Structure 1
Amino acid sequence: MLITNPHLPDNPIVFANPAFLKLTGYEADEVMGRNCRFLQGHGTDPAHVRAIKSAIAAEKPIDIDIINYKKSGEAFWNRLHISPVHNANGRLQHFVSSQLDVTLELSRLVELEKERKTLSIETARSKDQLDYIVEVANIGFWTREFYSGKMTCSAECRRIYGFTPDEPVHFDTILDLVVLEDRMTVVQKAHQAVTGEPYSIEYRIVTRLGETRWLETRAKALTGENPLVLGIVQDVTERKKAEANKALVSREIAHRFKNSMAMVQSIANQTLRNTYDPEQANRLFSERLRALSQAHDMLLKENWAGATIQQICATALAPFNSTFANRIHMSGPHLLVSDRVTVALSLAFYELATNAVKYGALSNEKGVINITWAIMEDKGEKKFHMRWAESRGPEVMQPARRGFGQRLLHSVLAEELKAKCDVEFAASGLLIDVLAPITPEVFPGMGHNVPEQRIA
């Protein structure tokens, strides 16, 4: 992670986190004050450099894979994301960028392509090898008389289409199985075969049992007085499902990455906007990024299915346990919330605890924090109730403006939970009460039995 200052000459680096230094092999004093172009080298594509310059000049975010170089001279593929950070007046303040080494990922794709080509060559060397591959790949063979449409099919071909071993097969018999949307394409390809050019087509059929399957056919005609079309057919339904799942996963990864970067940009914006001391800003930003990282680690363990309130509290408040473990109490039912709410609540709890150490219940020797949550009934409707209650600490007064933790709470409650949030700076300590409707998007685990209480 880097932060640069476009208001200084040559847009120099003003912050570099340890992960960047570990990735590139540089020390902090070797990168601070330099423009990021020192990572470029002879293998860097000039077109990629121009694209980055254009985005920076236009103050727009950019995602790009570019070849960069480590201090050792080793080249690596850098999946780079750059976002501008503007102040409340819309004026550009900084650029925030993240770097991810995807060299192994891209190298593996190249290796897979080489392996595919090698396999293709090897299968052509020997009929025995080809027959074996065909057998294990479940490939069916067929021939078709071009003008009559009569077909001869192998046993595997008959199995794929759902034909019995002895029934006669005609091109029209197969065409009747093809779904209507794909039928015209199949007919056109079949007629083009008379030119002698090979063709390949993927299409769907509905079997006699009513099951939809994806098939791939490759064919070539032996031209002459009575053209004969030779072809193979393979059931590629599972491959199509895998491709659809891969596309879904790719979209989900991109969505989560953008959400994470939006959260990082928000943290950077809030930190830089409200802190004028560079050292303090650096420390606060690093602490908040660490809290965000811990929330992401927790979600990864749960396969991004969300986390329970208990997990969120325990993870967010873990840094305070060594000193205040017996003064922070939490209780409530096993209640799962979505990944977006998990991240926001983790950051909010961490920030509120930090403020409690500085100004609230944890700033003296006897103050305590009680965090409780429950599913309650309010006017006949189930609702989520959560309370952050500080007591036995110094007398608190309402600050002139909201802190980062309170802003996070209000943001996530308003946007994600559709909740009502009451904040009271009582003489006994800070009180925060949250009341939110129950929705499956926010509380995906509400199918389980959860103890209820009634709001007094």
Structure 2
Amino acid sequence: MADDAQHAPTLHGDPPAAASPQGLADRNALAAVAVERTRMPMVVSDPRQPDNPIVLANRAFLELTGYSADEVIGRNCRFLQGEGTSAETIDAIRTAMLEERDFEAEILNYRKDGSAFWNRLNLSPVHDEAGQLLYVFGSQIDVTELRKVQELEASEHRLLKEVDHRALNVLAVVGGIVRLSRSDEPVRYARAIQQRVAVLANAHTLLAERGWQEVSLEHIIRQQMNGPRLEQVALSGPELMVSAIAVQPLALVIHELVDNAQNHGALSVPGGRVEVSWDRGSEYGAFELIWREFGGPTPPLAPQIGFGTAMIAGMIERQLRGRIDRDWVDHGLCIKLTAPGTFEPAPA
């Protein structure tokens, strides 16, 4: 590192906008002193030498990187690079130097002790009056803390958007519950609303416990299975993970199917049984769920009761953008539910 004007490199370029004759004569020495004493980390490299080594580094640069002057002078600046340094940024620096043009970028560098820091790097070629490249002037700013703040702000922004999205989704489901719940008796209507909101709340709790990550379909189904005849229900299907946004609507659908079967369908009689199967759909992320009832009330009675058609259809078609098909066959009711973009492959 240069300690006085005698060891300063001869820098060329446009003269200062305002300078005395003596100032012009001393400009090289003054430039070296300015580089040395500024608080901004700075280096000067010599591209005329093999591998473009550093020929001057100020004290601020040494303090930033943790290296001594002897460990810096004569080396190419790449010693600051490490495992996490972007190869794309390195290529961009190399291209800018070959084209002898100014360059600015943020790059992940490493100190002597191995600690990483984000470096806002500015490189500027220095030419003589004839246009020949003499030196490359580089300044560095440690922007690690600034990036942490920016990342935190971005994370908070994403979180707020996610909270807003979840809140709107919950409100949409609640609106569907109120709109689709039907009863001519206020007490029965209030009870139906309460039961369905309780299902929504339980699903919300499940999502919160899972960190708003995917939940297995079987877990959602089993959460809604309650009552005296659950031994009459058989579940089968591969492990499928339901996206967080689809958990609450699906929980309501399963609740409605179970409730209707217990009150009016196959689970309302001792000999009835229900088979629930599921699989991936033909499209990536789609699902197919089949609910089959055996030994329930005779087919003519079931359509009059309704089996929660409005609620199930509303959740599947409006919330999940899917489709519901129902059919009465000899053995009882069969419902097929399909919805796109609901599942992800189960984790290995």
The TM-score, its normalising length taken from structure 2, stands at 0.58
Aligned residue number for residue 344 of structure 2: 444
Matched, 1:426 2:336: no
Deviation at 1:316? 1.6
What secondary structure does 2:38 align onto?
strand
Matched, 1:243 2:153: yes
Deviation at 1:278? 1.4
Matched letter for residue 38 of structure 2: T
Q: Which of 161, 170, 187 in structure 2 is aligned with 1:279?
A: 187
Aligned residue number for residue 296 of structure 2: 393
Q: Is the 8 A contact 2:264 2:307 kept in 1?
A: no
Deviation at 1:361? 0.6
Q: Is the 8 A contact 1:372 1:388 kept in 2?
A: yes
Deviation at 1:291? 0.9
Q: Cα 1:377–1:265, aligned 2, differ >3 Å: closer, same or farther?
A: closer
Aligned residue number for residue 44 of structure 2: none
Aligned residue number for residue 35 of structure 1: none
Hey, what's the Cα distance between the residues in 2 that align with 1:377 and 1:305?
Answer: 24
Hey, what's the Cα distance between the residues in 2 that align with 1:325 and 1:160?
Answer: 71
Q: Which of 373, 379, 388 in structure 1 is aligned with 2:278?
A: 373
Deviation at 1:425? 2.4
Matched letter for residue 429 of structure 1: G
- Equivalent runs, 1:31-50 vs 2, <5 Å: none
What secondary structure does 2:290 align onto?
strand
Aligned residue number for residue 242 of structure 2: 337
Deviations 1:84-139 (A, max 9, x none): xxxxxxxxxxxxxxxxxxxxxxxxxxxxxxxxxxxxxxxxxxxxxxxxxxxxxxxx
The structure with higher relative contact order (CA 8 Å, sep 6+) is 2
Q: Is the 8 A contact 1:307 1:342 kept in 2?
A: yes
Matched, 1:307 2:215: yes
- Equivalent runs, 1:139-150 vs 2, <5 Å: 150=35
Q: Cα 1:160–1:423, aligned 2, differ >3 Å: closer, same or farther?
A: farther
Deviations 1:266-320 (A, max 9, x none): 212222xx22311111111111111111111221222111211110101122x32
Deviation at 1:163? 9.2
Hey, what's the Cα distance between the residues in 2 that align with 1:403 and 1:393?
Answer: 12
Deviation at 1:235? 3.0
Q: Is the 8 A contact 1:316 1:346 kept in 2?
A: yes
Matched, 1:152 2:55: no
Hey, what's the Cα distance between the residues in 1 that align with 2:153 and 2:290?
Answer: 45
Deviation at 1:427? 3.9
Matched letter for residue 430 of structure 1: L
Deviations 1:61-89 (A, max 9, x none): xxxxxxxxxxxxxxxxxxxxxxxxxxxxx
Q: Which of 242, 248, 254 in structure 2 is aligned with 1:349?
A: 254
Aligned residue number for residue 111 of structure 1: none
Deviations 1:210-240 (A, max 9, x none): 999488xxxxxxxxxxxxxxxx987322232
What secondary structure does 1:260 align onto?
helix
Deviations 1:320-371 (A, max 9, x none): 2xx1121122111111011222211110111111111221111112111111
Hey, what's the Cα distance between the residues in 1 that align with 2:196 and 2:218?
Answer: 20
Hey, what's the Cα distance between the residues in 1 that align with 2:119 and 2:320?
Answer: 42
Q: Is the 8 A contact 2:218 2:239 kept in 1?
A: yes
- Equivalent runs, 1:17-56 vs 2, <5 Å: none
Deviation at 1:423? 0.2
Hey, what's the Cα distance between the residues in 2 that align with 1:369 and 1:399?
Answer: 18
Unaligned stretches of 5+ residues in structure 2: 1-29, 42-58, 74-103, 111-115, 121-141
The TM-score, its normalising length taken from structure 1, stands at 0.45
What secondary structure does 2:159 align onto?
helix
What secondary structure does 1:303 align onto?
coil
Aligned residue number for residue 197 of structure 2: 289
Larger of the two Rg values belongs to structure: 2
What secondary structure does 1:394 align onto?
coil
Unaligned stretches of 5+ residues in structure 1: 1-144, 169-203, 216-231, 449-456
The structure in which a higher percent of residues are strand is: 1
- Equivalent runs, 1:212-223 vs 2, <5 Å: 213=118
Hey, what's the Cα distance between the residues in 2 that align with 1:359 and 1:276?
Answer: 18
Deviation at 1:444? 2.0
Deviation at 1:207? 3.8
Q: Is the 8 A contact 1:214 1:236 kept in 2?
A: no
Matched letter for residue 315 of structure 1: Q
What secondary structure does 1:350 align onto?
helix
Once superposed, what is the RMSD of the aligned Cα atoms?
4.0
